[in-house]
């Protein structure tokens, strides 16, 4: 009984710590509460996040602010068309050794950090973008046949401008699938715009304090994995993923009409882990249907590939995922 009470206290303490991180971020970041939630869920799920929005909406500032609240090493990579893979991963350089002989020495690239800001990731060529694949999936980089382990924890928080803007390259589907979620950063309200001006154009700029360190982040990641998932909710998550495939008998009508490919197994894994982390933020040791539904759209929106008809009709992945969730709710009520 004492062990159960101790575990309950762990979840309560974790929720309080995570709340402190969020409150500290809100000292500087105005509004964007849903964006902040989704980025923090991604980090404490151990995943990578892709933030998409127009320039000047605070995507880069949000990532910088998170690094200021967490006592983790932070590196920024500004993606440009002439950026090469070695500029990110590092490279072998021929240098004289202590015995006077020439030898190759590995010089680490900016990927060797805890929080990596991949700024405007879609401005780099596909070759450079793909150099992140191994790092994001395996947390290693391979240079000249030698594999190097990256730091733990390791997060890629990438920002991108909408694809239809000049000078951008679409991210490969394989790389998109490495992101645990894709977050849309919206335009602030008039009141938020006013507050942004007050906070950023005066003499005093809010200073953010370090709330959690490396050990704390790793411990919270491990604690989130202990969140319980009932068989009913696991089956519901599986049904959500299955219903994103046009060939599925449970797919909504618009999914069958407009989707070319649905989400794969990594989408299911990401959905469960994000739901667990959302439950942890609430101090619960089990997930709810609400956790699954609140995390489904950011987790799955970049994993649905529309067909030509879907793109021509201006259908969005968010709308189709909403159809999936609505139909799942009807199925539950009918039972």
Alpha-carbon gap, residue 275 to 229, rounded angstroms? 9
State the total domains in the chain: 2
Give the per-residue pLDDT at 163.
61
Same domain for 245 and 312, yes or no, is yes
Domain CATH number, residue 71: 3.40.50.300
104 inside domain:
no
Contact 155, 115 (CB under 8 A): yes
What is the number of alpha carbons within 13 Å of residue 230 lying toward its C-beta?
10
Same domain for 255 and 318, yes or no, is yes
Give the per-residue pLDDT at 334.
45
Same domain for 272 and 193, yes or no, is no
Contact 261, 287 (CB under 8 A): no
Give the per-residue pLDDT at 296.
92
103 inside domain:
no
Same domain for 239 and 294, yes or no, is yes
94 inside domain:
no
Same domain for 120 and 251, yes or no, is no
How does pLDDT run along the chain (335 residues), one tens digit per residue? Answer: 466 677 777 778 888 888 888 888 887 777 778 888 888 899 888 889 998 887 777 787 888 888 888 888 888 888 888 888 888 887 777 777 677 777 777 778 888 888 888 888 888 888 888 778 888 888 888 877 778 888 888 888 888 877 656 667 777 777 788 899 999 888 878 887 887 787 777 666 677 788 888 888 888 888 888 888 999 999 999 999 999 999 888 888 898 999 898 888 999 999 999 999 999 888 888 899 999 999 999 999 999 989 898 888 888 989 999 988 887 756 544 44
Domain CATH number, residue 274: 1.10.8.80
Same domain for 162 and 28, yes or no, is yes
Same domain for 74 and 128, yes or no, is yes
Alpha-carbon gap, residue 54 to 58, rounded angstroms? 9
Same domain for 154 and 42, yes or no, is yes
Q: Give alpha helix (H) positions in the chain.
A: 2-25, 33-44, 59-69, 86-89, 126-130, 133-138, 173-176, 190-200, 214-224, 231-242, 253-258, 265-281, 289-300, 308-312, 317-334
Same domain for 78 and 196, yes or no, is yes
What is the span of the domain harbouring residue 18?
1-83+111-202+211-225
97 inside domain:
no
Give the per-residue pLDDT at 332.
47
pTM: 0.86
Cis omega (within 30 of 0) on the bond before 153?
yes
């Amino acid at each position: 009984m004492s062990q159960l009470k101790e575990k309950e206290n762990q979840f309560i303490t974790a929720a309080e710590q995570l709340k402190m991180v969020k409150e500290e971020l809100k000292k500087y970041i105005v509004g964007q509460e849903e964006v902040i939630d989704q980025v923090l869920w991604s980090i404490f799920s151990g995943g990578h996040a892709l933030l998409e929005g127009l320039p000047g909406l605070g995507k880069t500032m949000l990532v910088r602010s998170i690094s200021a609240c967490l006592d983790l090493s932070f590196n920024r990579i500004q993606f440009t068309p002439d950026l090469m893979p070695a500029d990110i991963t590092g490279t072998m350089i021929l240098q004289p050794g202590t015995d006077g002989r020439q030898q190759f020495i590995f010089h680490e690239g900016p990927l060797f950090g805890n929080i990596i800001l991949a700024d405007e990731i879609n401005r780099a060529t596909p070759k450079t973008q793909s150099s992140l694949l191994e790092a994001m999936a395996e947390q290693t980089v391979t240079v000249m046949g030698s594999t190097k382990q990256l730091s733990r924890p390791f997060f890629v928080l990438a920002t991108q401008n909408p694809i239809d803007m000049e000078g951008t390259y679409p991210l490969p589907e394989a790389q998109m699938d490495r992101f645990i979620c894709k977050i849309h950063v919206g335009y602030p309200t008039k009141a938020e715009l006013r507050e942004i001006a007050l906070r950023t154009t005066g003499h005093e700029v809010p200073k953010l304090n370090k709330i959690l360190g490396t050990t704390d982040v790793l411990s919270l990641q491990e604690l989130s994995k202990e969140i319980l998932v009932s068989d009913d909710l696991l089956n519901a998550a599986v049904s959500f993923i299955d219903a994103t495939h046009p060939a599925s008998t449970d797919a909504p009508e618009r999914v069958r009409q407009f989707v070319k490919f649905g989400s794969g197994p990594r989408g299911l894994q990401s959905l469960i882990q994000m739901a667990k982390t959302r439950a942890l933020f609430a101090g619960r040791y089990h997930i709810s249907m609400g956790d699954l539904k609140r995390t489904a759209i950011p987790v799955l929106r970049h994993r649905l590939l529309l067909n030509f008809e879907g793109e021509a009709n201006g259908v969005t992945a968010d709308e189709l995922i909403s159809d999936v969730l609505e139909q799942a709710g009807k199925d539950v009520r009918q039972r």
